[in-house]
Structure 1
Amino acid sequence: MGKVLITGATGFIGANLARALVDDHEVYLLLRSRKHAWRIADILDRVQVADADLLDAKGLATALRRMRPECIFHLAAYGAYPRTQTDAQSIFSTNIRGTFNLLQAARGVDYRCFVNTGSSSEYGIKSRPMRESDLLEPNTLYGISKAAATMLCAHEAREQGRPIVTLRPFSAYGYYEEPFRLVPSVILRCLRGEDVPLSSGEQKRDYVFIEDIVEAYRKAMRLKSPRGDVFNLGSGKDVSVREVATAIHALARGKGRLLFGKMRRAAFDTASCWKADTKKTAKVLGWKSRTVLKDGLQKTIRWFRENKAMYGQ
């Protein structure tokens, strides 16, 4: 049972990863504050918590020397939710300066893997499945900042010979997701019997179930000698918002109506193509998304039905 450090453990993917690893690893969490720790409140007594800030380079280095983790999972980020996280200074300071500080602090630790979390937003809009070798053309500040962080990690891996890899999740969904995101918002409204206001529904995304995402992080721990590699985490299929909402409505037996066209489409949305090319991930990482959308949605609906009190229901 080795030591693992997780940044961003109060977030959606980070919390699911922490919960998955706590049974068979010595888990350390880097928390700036416990104010938003509702996703991990019931496991805090089973993990070690370091009260440190990614923007405090000196404190961060001290914390890492004290913990000496074997694996570092970097999931802390700001700006992934463009309707609520809009401060440009925070986007760049957290995602770029924070990543730089963590890489620098980790130089004092003999870790065997450092897993950075990228984003499909790094690619920008493409006309075909997105490959890791594609030119990055992000069309949001968040995408720009995540692309810069990925490049910082690749540079550190090459220049310092460190075992660093970046995973690029596409549209993850599942347990503990933010309530305003598509899948939870439709589920919660269906469970309440309410109408569901939506955009036109034409936008497409590559949806990946959280259990599959967590399994990819586990596999990254066992990757032999990574040196700045990047891997897409997607299903390889893009599905429209309309299809996802309609499937949830049917599976949850929603009594309200799906009101398409009632919400404005975001500037970064696309109806053409947004899906991962997963050939490299399957070949090198040995991972592929195994949960079909219907099964993942059924599991998610069941979880939300059983845990709706967490969302004030």
Structure 2
Amino acid sequence: MEEILITGTTGFIGNHLVSALNKNYKIFGISKNKIKSSKNFYSHNLDITKSNIILKNHFSKIIHMAAYSDVNYCNLNPTKCYELNVNSTLKMLEIARKKDSSFIFLSSSHVYGNPKKLPIAEIDPCHPFTHYASSKKMSEILCETYSKTYDLDIRVARIFSVYGPSSSKSNLVFNIINQMIHDSKVKLGNVSPKRDFIFIDDVINGLIQIINSKKRGFQVYNLGSGKSISIEELVKTCFNIHNKNPKLISSKEKRRKNEISDICANISKMKSDFNWKPKISLKKGLEITYNSYI
């Protein structure tokens, strides 16, 4: 059984990905949070920003997910953001270089910034304007440089607005549903921006295709639904599922500076390379997510 290394195994995507991969791989998991080992999954609790990682195993693949993903936290703590998000990528790339492992890096649609045309493709320019987005783009540049310098097979997955059960508290859909369940109102920032929402199961299915790919060199893939809706429409869909009508409040103090007005993924590369497309509709995905929290 192939041995693979995964960082960030206790995160939202990490939890789901480990469950999907441990049937076919022996997983060496790294996380700063404690988690029990299980069949084909060996958990190691360490902070990769502070530890010198010396690994004897030979890993066919390294999947790097460890990162601060809360945009507001990263803006308030830029030093911590770059220490984890960029320096840990460099450390993992060094391990990939020494072990000649293929490398899969989880990036974000945030790297695009405010796109000039939609849907946005992998070859379109990136203009990040938050610390989180910049840290992801800097890591992508490291990935491309390592791939070209050392002839490594490196694949980058740019994840759009993923949601689903067991998400982090900073996740927008979790925030909406949590307020719906526990309050008579839902208080958000600007509700007019549009986002490309994709259910966690579709992201995991896409990641498995990328992880198992035989494509050589440096590759970048968008993982989104290919559609965008406004946050206001998202809230209304959630209200319909909730079968109640809480008051929606758009609060000025919650609005982000330099908000992206609209973003939508061009997913033609995922379709052509892997015959992949999302299967879970937004309504169905929100129903599953809502029911997991009540």
Fold similarity call, TM over 0.5: yes
Name the CA distance, whole Å, in 1 between partners of 2:170 and 2:219.
32
3-state secondary structure, aligned to 2:290: helix
Structure 1: any 5+ residue segments left out of the alignment? 35-40, 306-313
Q: Which residue of 2 aligns with 1:22?
A: 22
What is the deviation of 1:108? 2.4
Q: Which residue of 2 aligns with 1:13?
A: 13
2:90 is the counterpart of 1:97: no
Q: Which residue of 2 aligns with 1:44?
A: 37
Count of matched residue positions in the alignment of Structure 1 and Structure 2: 291
> Could you give the per-residue CA deviations for residues 222-268 of structure 1, whole angstroms, max 9, x where no partner exists?
21133111111111111111011110111022353223346532124
Q: 1:268 to 1:7 in 2, by over 3 A?
A: farther
Name the CA distance, whole Å, in 2 between partners of 1:56 and 1:106.
19
Letter in 2 for 1:277: N
What is the deviation of 1:139? 1.0
What is the deviation of 1:92? 1.4
Structure 2: any 5+ residue segments left out of the alignment? none
TM-score, length-scaled by structure 2: 0.91
Q: 1:103 to 1:180 in 2, by over 3 A?
A: closer
2:66 is the counterpart of 1:76: yes
**Could you tell me whether the CA contact under 8 Å between 1:170 and 1:234 is conserved in 2?**
yes
2:99 is the counterpart of 1:106: no
Letter in 1 for 2:156: T
3-state secondary structure, aligned to 2:104: strand
| Aligned pairs for 1:258-273 within 5 A | 258-261=248-251, 264-271=254-261, 273=262
Q: 1:276 to 1:93 in 2, by over 3 A?
A: same
Name the CA distance, whole Å, in 2 between partners of 1:161 and 1:84.
35
3-state secondary structure, aligned to 1:28: strand
Q: What's the RMSD between the two structures over aligned residues?
A: 1.9
2:57 is the counterpart of 1:67: yes
What is the deviation of 1:287? 2.1
Letter in 1 for 2:43: V
Q: Which residue of 1 aligns with 2:108?
A: 119
Q: 1:261 to 1:56 in 2, by over 3 A?
A: closer
**Could you tell me whether the CA contact under 8 Å between 1:195 and 1:259 is conserved in 2?**
yes
Aligned match for 2:168, one of 174, 178, 181:
178
What is the deviation of 1:105? 1.7
**Could you tell me whether the CA contact under 8 Å between 2:108 and 2:160 is conserved in 1?**
yes
Name the CA distance, whole Å, in 2 between partners of 1:262 and 1:269.
12
What is the deviation of 1:27? 1.6
Name the CA distance, whole Å, in 1 between partners of 2:183 and 2:269.
43
Structure 1 runs, 4 residues or longer, greater than 6 Å off: none
**Could you tell me whether the CA contact under 8 Å between 2:3 and 2:28 is conserved in 1?**
yes
Q: Which residue of 1 aligns with 2:179?
A: 189
> Could you give the per-residue CA deviations for residues 187-215 of structure 1, whole angstroms, max 9, x where no partner exists?
12222353211224101111011001111
TM-score, length-scaled by structure 1: 0.86
Letter in 2 for 1:213: V
2:236 is the counterpart of 1:246: yes
Comparing 148-157 and 278-287, the one that deviates more = 278-287
**Could you tell me whether the CA contact under 8 Å between 1:186 and 1:249 is conserved in 2?**
no
Give the percent of matched residue pairs that are identical in Structure 1 and Structure 2: 27
